[in-house]
Chain A
Amino acid sequence: DGGITQSPKYLFRKEGQNVTLSCEQNLNHDAMYWYRQDPGQGLRLIYYSQIVNDFQKGDIAEGYSVSREKKESFPLTVTSAQKNPTAFYLCASSWASGHNEQFFGPGTRLTVL
C-alpha cells in the first residue's frame, strides 16, 4: 500500500527537550511538507522540501529544523527554542507542482508538559 506514515501518533515531552517527529512516504513523491495545526487556524507551513538535500522555510519555521537525506523521509525536529510546541503536526507529500494534490499522513499530536 502506498502512503505516508507518521510516528508516533501521540508524543509527550518535557519542556526544554528536543523531539523528532517521523514522516515517511513510499509514493515516490519529490516534495514533502510539514504543517502545524492549532485550534481555529488553518494549516500553517513549517518547512518544505522539493528534492533530496534541499529544503526551505515555511511561514513558521522558527524553533524547528528538518533534514531530507532520503527521498522517502522528512523528519521534523521541534527544538527547545519553539515557544509553543504543543500542537497537531501533519506531514504531506506531492509531485513538486502547485497543480498537484498533496497527500497527508495521519498526524502526530505533540504535548509539551
Chain B
Amino acid sequence: ILNVEQSPQSLHVQEGDSTNFTCSFPSSNFYALHWYRWETAKSPEALFVMTLNGDEKKKGRISATLNTKEGYSYLYIKGSQPEDSATYLCAFPTDSWGKLQFGAGTQVVVTP
C-alpha cells in the first residue's frame, strides 16, 4: 500500500484568515492527484484532479498546486468562511484505471 500523507490532521481558522495544508504522495509512477472536500452529512465532492507538474488549479477561494517531482501538493483557502469547514481529502491513483489511495484528511474548522 503506497502512503499518502496529509498534514496537519486538523486546523482551526478564524473567519477571514487564509490557510493551507499539505498532501504528500509517492513521486514515482505518477498518474494524477485528486482533492476532495467532505462536508458533514454530505458526500465527498471533487475539487481538483491535477495531472501536470507545476499545475495550479483554482475554484473560487480555494486553489491547489502540484509538485510531482518531490511528491507534494498544497491546498490553499483564501479568506476562509464558515462554509469552508470540511474535511479535505487528497487521493493518489495507484494504477491507470483509477484505484485511489486516500490520505486521512485535514479537518478544517472555520470559526466566525
The residues of A with any CB-CB pair to B shorter than 8 Å are 4, 31, 33, 35, 40-45, 48, 50, 56, 58-59, 90, 94-107
Contact = CB atoms under 8 A, between A and B. Distances in A.
Given A43-B44, A102-B46, 5 more contacts: A45-B99, A97-B96, A98-B96, A104-B43, A104-B45
Contacts of B105: 42
B97 A50 contact: yes
Given A41-B104, A101-B46, A104-B44, A58 B4 contact: no
Contacts of B51: 99
A42 B97 contact: no
B97 A31 contact: yes
What's the interface size class on B, roughly?
Answer: 20 to 34
Contacts, number: 69
Interface of B: 1, 4, 31-32, 34, 42-46, 49, 51, 89, 91, 93, 95-105
A3 to B, nearest CB: 9
A42 B104 contact: yes
